[in-house]
Amino acid sequence: MSTPRRVRIKICGMTRADDVACAVVAGVDAVGFIFYAKSPRAITPAAAKAIIDGLPPFVDAVGVFVDEEAGRVAEIVRACGLGYVQLHGNESPASCRQLVTLAPSCRLLKAFRVGPHTTAAEIAVYRDIVQGYLLDTYQPGVAGGTGRAFDWTLIDRLGLDKPSLLAGGLDLDNIGEALAMVRPYGVDANSGLEDGPGRKNHDRIRRFITAVRAFEADCLARQQ
Protein backbone atom coordinates (compact mmCIF):
# COMPACT_ATOMS: atom_id res chain seq x y z
CA MET A 1 0.00 0.00 0.00
CA SER A 2 1.29 3.46 -0.82
CA THR A 3 0.45 6.66 0.97
CA PRO A 4 -1.78 8.98 -1.09
CA ARG A 5 -1.49 12.73 -0.77
CA ARG A 6 -4.35 12.58 1.70
CA VAL A 7 -4.85 9.61 4.02
CA ARG A 8 -8.54 8.87 4.45
CA ILE A 9 -9.72 8.80 8.05
CA LYS A 10 -12.70 6.79 9.26
CA ILE A 11 -13.89 6.71 12.84
CA CYS A 12 -16.14 3.77 13.57
CA GLY A 13 -18.53 2.71 16.30
CA MET A 14 -20.38 6.01 16.35
CA THR A 15 -23.52 6.12 18.51
CA ARG A 16 -23.84 9.80 19.50
CA ALA A 17 -24.50 12.85 17.35
CA ASP A 18 -22.08 15.07 19.28
CA ASP A 19 -19.24 12.60 18.71
CA VAL A 20 -19.93 12.65 14.98
CA ALA A 21 -20.12 16.45 14.99
CA CYS A 22 -16.73 16.65 16.69
CA ALA A 23 -15.19 14.31 14.12
CA VAL A 24 -16.69 16.26 11.24
CA VAL A 25 -15.30 19.57 12.49
CA ALA A 26 -11.91 17.93 13.05
CA GLY A 27 -11.82 16.78 9.43
CA VAL A 28 -12.90 13.12 9.34
CA ASP A 29 -13.65 11.58 5.94
CA ALA A 30 -16.09 8.88 7.05
CA VAL A 31 -17.98 7.75 10.12
CA GLY A 32 -19.01 4.17 10.81
CA PHE A 33 -22.22 2.79 12.32
CA ILE A 34 -22.32 -0.82 13.53
CA PHE A 35 -25.51 -2.71 12.74
CA TYR A 36 -24.56 -5.83 14.65
CA ALA A 37 -26.58 -6.59 17.75
CA LYS A 38 -23.73 -8.35 19.57
CA SER A 39 -21.45 -5.31 19.37
CA PRO A 40 -21.28 -3.03 22.43
CA ARG A 41 -21.38 -0.19 19.89
CA ALA A 42 -24.49 -1.39 18.06
CA ILE A 43 -26.90 1.25 16.82
CA THR A 44 -30.41 0.98 15.40
CA PRO A 45 -31.13 2.07 11.84
CA ALA A 46 -33.46 4.79 13.12
CA ALA A 47 -30.84 6.25 15.45
CA ALA A 48 -28.17 6.07 12.76
CA LYS A 49 -30.41 7.77 10.21
CA ALA A 50 -31.06 10.67 12.57
CA ILE A 51 -27.29 11.26 12.74
CA ILE A 52 -26.57 10.58 9.06
CA ASP A 53 -29.23 13.07 7.96
CA GLY A 54 -27.10 15.78 9.57
CA LEU A 55 -23.83 14.91 7.83
CA PRO A 56 -22.40 17.57 5.53
CA PRO A 57 -21.37 16.83 1.93
CA PHE A 58 -18.24 14.70 1.40
CA VAL A 59 -18.41 12.99 4.79
CA ASP A 60 -19.40 9.38 4.10
CA ALA A 61 -21.62 7.16 6.22
CA VAL A 62 -20.42 3.56 6.48
CA GLY A 63 -22.61 0.73 7.71
CA VAL A 64 -20.83 -2.19 9.36
CA PHE A 65 -22.49 -5.62 9.15
CA VAL A 66 -21.51 -9.09 10.31
CA ASP A 67 -22.94 -12.05 8.37
CA GLU A 68 -26.23 -10.23 7.83
CA GLU A 69 -28.72 -11.35 5.19
CA ALA A 70 -28.15 -9.36 1.98
CA GLY A 71 -31.75 -8.20 1.72
CA ARG A 72 -31.65 -6.78 5.23
CA VAL A 73 -28.39 -4.97 4.51
CA ALA A 74 -29.89 -3.43 1.36
CA GLU A 75 -32.94 -2.35 3.34
CA ILE A 76 -30.78 -0.52 5.90
CA VAL A 77 -28.67 1.02 3.14
CA ARG A 78 -31.77 2.59 1.63
CA ALA A 79 -33.35 3.59 4.95
CA CYS A 80 -30.22 5.28 6.33
CA GLY A 81 -28.66 6.64 3.13
CA LEU A 82 -25.41 4.75 3.55
CA GLY A 83 -22.62 5.43 1.08
CA TYR A 84 -20.57 2.37 2.00
CA VAL A 85 -21.18 -1.07 3.41
CA GLN A 86 -18.39 -2.75 5.36
CA LEU A 87 -18.80 -6.51 5.65
CA HIS A 88 -16.99 -7.72 8.73
CA GLY A 89 -17.97 -11.37 8.94
CA ASN A 90 -17.49 -14.50 6.86
CA GLU A 91 -19.48 -13.23 3.88
CA SER A 92 -18.80 -15.25 0.73
CA PRO A 93 -18.06 -13.72 -2.68
CA ALA A 94 -21.51 -14.92 -3.77
CA SER A 95 -23.26 -13.06 -0.94
CA CYS A 96 -21.23 -9.94 -1.74
CA ARG A 97 -22.33 -10.12 -5.37
CA GLN A 98 -25.93 -10.48 -4.24
CA LEU A 99 -25.60 -7.35 -2.14
CA VAL A 100 -24.12 -5.41 -5.05
CA THR A 101 -27.21 -6.36 -7.07
CA LEU A 102 -29.63 -5.37 -4.30
CA ALA A 103 -27.88 -2.10 -3.38
CA PRO A 104 -26.04 -0.97 -6.52
CA SER A 105 -25.58 2.61 -5.34
CA CYS A 106 -23.57 1.58 -2.29
CA ARG A 107 -19.85 0.88 -2.38
CA LEU A 108 -18.60 -2.27 -0.75
CA LEU A 109 -15.67 -2.84 1.62
CA LYS A 110 -14.66 -6.30 2.79
CA ALA A 111 -12.94 -6.62 6.14
CA PHE A 112 -10.32 -9.27 6.82
CA ARG A 113 -9.03 -10.24 10.25
CA VAL A 114 -5.33 -10.55 9.63
CA GLY A 115 -3.20 -13.16 11.35
CA PRO A 116 -0.44 -15.63 10.45
CA HIS A 117 -3.07 -17.78 8.71
CA THR A 118 -4.26 -15.05 6.31
CA THR A 119 -3.37 -15.62 2.66
CA ALA A 120 -3.41 -13.54 -0.50
CA ALA A 121 -5.70 -16.11 -2.14
CA GLU A 122 -8.56 -15.64 0.33
CA ILE A 123 -8.54 -11.90 -0.33
CA ALA A 124 -8.10 -12.14 -4.11
CA VAL A 125 -11.49 -13.82 -4.63
CA TYR A 126 -13.17 -10.52 -3.67
CA ARG A 127 -11.05 -8.41 -6.04
CA ASP A 128 -13.69 -7.88 -8.71
CA ILE A 129 -16.56 -7.34 -6.28
CA VAL A 130 -15.49 -4.79 -3.68
CA GLN A 131 -14.06 -1.28 -3.88
CA GLY A 132 -11.59 -1.79 -1.06
CA TYR A 133 -10.41 -3.84 1.89
CA LEU A 134 -10.24 -3.22 5.62
CA LEU A 135 -7.51 -4.96 7.59
CA ASP A 136 -8.35 -5.70 11.21
CA THR A 137 -6.86 -7.85 13.96
CA TYR A 138 -7.57 -11.57 14.08
CA GLN A 139 -8.79 -12.87 17.41
CA PRO A 140 -10.62 -16.19 17.65
CA GLY A 141 -14.35 -15.80 18.09
CA VAL A 142 -14.33 -11.99 17.73
CA ALA A 143 -15.65 -10.26 14.60
CA GLY A 144 -13.69 -7.07 15.22
CA GLY A 145 -13.22 -4.19 17.60
CA THR A 146 -10.61 -6.02 19.66
CA GLY A 147 -8.68 -2.84 20.45
CA ARG A 148 -5.48 -4.66 19.55
CA ALA A 149 -3.06 -4.07 16.70
CA PHE A 150 -1.87 -6.96 14.57
CA ASP A 151 1.57 -7.67 13.15
CA TRP A 152 1.72 -5.16 10.30
CA THR A 153 4.60 -7.00 8.63
CA LEU A 154 2.03 -9.62 7.58
CA ILE A 155 0.47 -7.15 5.12
CA ASP A 156 3.22 -7.30 2.52
CA ARG A 157 2.47 -10.92 1.69
CA LEU A 158 -1.23 -10.33 1.03
CA GLY A 159 -0.84 -8.95 -2.50
CA LEU A 160 -3.32 -6.14 -1.95
CA ASP A 161 -4.45 -4.51 -5.18
CA LYS A 162 -7.30 -2.33 -3.88
CA PRO A 163 -7.35 0.71 -1.59
CA SER A 164 -7.01 -0.63 1.95
CA LEU A 165 -7.85 0.80 5.34
CA LEU A 166 -5.76 -0.15 8.34
CA ALA A 167 -7.73 -0.91 11.50
CA GLY A 168 -7.14 -2.78 14.74
CA GLY A 169 -6.17 -0.95 17.90
CA LEU A 170 -5.13 2.33 16.30
CA ASP A 171 -4.71 5.13 18.83
CA LEU A 172 -2.63 8.20 19.63
CA ASP A 173 0.33 6.08 20.70
CA ASN A 174 0.72 4.03 17.53
CA ILE A 175 -0.81 5.99 14.65
CA GLY A 176 2.49 7.59 13.64
CA GLU A 177 4.28 4.24 13.52
CA ALA A 178 1.37 2.67 11.66
CA LEU A 179 1.38 5.33 8.96
CA ALA A 180 5.13 5.20 8.52
CA MET A 181 5.32 1.41 8.38
CA VAL A 182 2.16 0.45 6.47
CA ARG A 183 1.51 3.53 4.32
CA PRO A 184 -2.22 2.73 4.07
CA TYR A 185 -4.80 4.33 1.83
CA GLY A 186 -6.79 5.06 4.97
CA VAL A 187 -7.05 4.39 8.69
CA ASP A 188 -10.00 3.30 10.79
CA ALA A 189 -10.05 4.05 14.52
CA ASN A 190 -12.60 3.00 17.10
CA SER A 191 -11.94 1.86 20.67
CA GLY A 192 -8.63 3.73 20.88
CA LEU A 193 -10.56 7.01 20.78
CA GLU A 194 -13.14 6.10 23.42
CA ASP A 195 -13.89 6.63 27.07
CA GLY A 196 -16.14 3.56 26.85
CA PRO A 197 -17.93 1.54 24.15
CA GLY A 198 -19.72 3.96 21.83
CA ARG A 199 -18.60 7.03 23.82
CA LYS A 200 -15.86 8.82 21.92
CA ASN A 201 -13.35 11.15 23.59
CA HIS A 202 -13.42 14.42 21.66
CA ASP A 203 -9.90 15.43 22.54
CA ARG A 204 -8.58 12.10 21.29
CA ILE A 205 -10.56 12.46 18.06
CA ARG A 206 -9.04 15.86 17.36
CA ARG A 207 -5.51 14.77 18.26
CA PHE A 208 -5.78 11.59 16.18
CA ILE A 209 -6.85 13.47 13.06
CA THR A 210 -4.20 16.12 13.67
CA ALA A 211 -1.56 13.38 13.90
CA VAL A 212 -2.59 11.90 10.56
CA ARG A 213 -2.55 15.29 8.85
CA ALA A 214 0.84 16.10 10.38
CA PHE A 215 2.22 12.87 8.93
CA GLU A 216 0.91 13.83 5.50
CA ALA A 217 2.42 17.28 5.74
CA ASP A 218 5.78 15.79 6.66
CA CYS A 219 5.63 13.39 3.70
CA LEU A 220 4.86 16.22 1.32
CA ALA A 221 7.65 18.36 2.73
CA ARG A 222 10.11 15.52 2.15
CA GLN A 223 8.98 15.20 -1.48
CA GLN A 224 9.55 18.88 -2.24
Instruction: Give catalytic residue positions.
Output: 12, 136
Three-state helix/strand/coil letters over the chain: CCCCCCCEEEECCCCCHHHHHHHHHHCCCEEEEECCCCCCCECCHHHHHHHHCCCCCCCEEEEEECCCCHHHHHHHHHHHCCCEEEECCCCCHHHHHHHHHHCCCCEEEEEEEECCCCCHHHHHCCCCCCCEEEEEECECCECCCCCCCCCHHHHHHHCCCCCEEECCCCCCCCHHHHHHHHCCCEEEECHHHEEECCEECHHHHHHHHHHHHHHHHHHHHHHC
